[in-house]
Structure 1
Amino acid sequence: MSDLATAQLQGVDQAVLRLLREELVTVSRRGYERGLVAGVSGNNSVRIPGTDLVLIKTTGQCQGDMDTADTVVMTLDGEVLEPGRKPSKEWRWHTAIYRVRPDVGAVVHQHPPYAVAFAVANQVPKIVHTAARGHVRRVEMVELLPAGSPELAEVITRMFSDAELRVALMREHGTIAVGPDLRTAYFRTEYLEDNAKVAILAAQIAAMPLDEHVHLAVDRAPLAEDGG
């Protein structure tokens, strides 16, 4: 461990670090419980304020089963500061986003199914409702590259160098959302997924007008008396 990294870690308020670990666990569990990620997939991270350090999920851990021991501190250069804990293999592009985006305080990577369906179809969903228009604004697509690879990190870094970008789809993979804090980044993921779901439902409704495709049975039962 480098002297600079050691000094930074020692200078972190332990109460603040504990709260960040707890929040990372809480947000990660919420994503799993809401069906935004399956198995041991996905990874979230948060910048430790006032430092060049980041807290990220450890590799191979289900977000739904996480506790604070499943988080690890590392530098933006990739140095792990807690021996015995291995960060997510996606750490390269997490740390790269923090390097190019000083405004970003957290990165959330989930696999929400409706948004991923668009990514599998190699399509970017239109922004179809006002909530997504306000919170997501626009969506970009990251090309398919091996998970955790330097090549993937390079593409994501270049894309998120745009200070206005908040969310992106990863082709056949998942989503990336950034924000000034962990909950904002997470909620942008929820808005992205809700927008994708509504876009699909709206397309289905437009393709199958209800008056032509829904045939209700004739109700011959007598009218129910008021009061049941």
Structure 2
Amino acid sequence: MLLQGATRLLLVPLSRLVFRPVIEGRENVPRRGPVILAVNHLSAFDSVVIPLVAPRPVAFLAKAEYFRQPGLKGWLVRTCLTAIDAIPVPRGGHRAAQDALEVARGVLADGKAFGIHPEGSRSRDGRIYRGRTGVAWLALASGAPVVPVAVLGTDRIQPVGTRLPRIGRITVRFGAPLHFTPSPGARSGQLRRAATDEIMAAIQELSGQERADDYNELSTTV
């Protein structure tokens, strides 16, 4: 725990020095209670950026393999991921995806913040893709508000295929919270689809990305 806190204290100012982030709308993130941060996905670095610039700790899911790498490099990766509250989960298949959502619901039940990329996998062409309905399932199951978030510039910081981030400026915009409640008589699938589309529209408005009307088929999550 002490090492985790010390690592975070080091990473936050270091990230601000290296990436000079422009942060907008931090006041839109509730300081207490469960909240979902729904973020666009341009780079593997996105889920590292958000916990370092948000006004409160934010947990993201991370591939379990990242926590099992050997040697000094593996130790450094585990230490950094633990410092930003990353949660190891196995990947692959519908059952694994649902299990991951249950883990996320547990985070929210503890009154914490959870980050999710509704598109699933990273966009390879810079467009914003149709959202998977897991984010709406999570919002409706937990009752937590959803804060739409746009990250810009991370595709230049760490393009697809690169291992280490480059120096450069990024922008993070936190939008106004969205609230969703179950509607009596409404079909659950339709409700999740409508809520997800509303969330993605809010993210797209913040990011200014061109919209793709289909799913990112490289996705392995819901």
> Normalising by structure 2, what TM-score?
0.28
Q: Which has the higher contact order (CA 8 A, sep 6+)?
A: 2
- After TM superposition, the score normalised by the length of structure 1 is 0.27
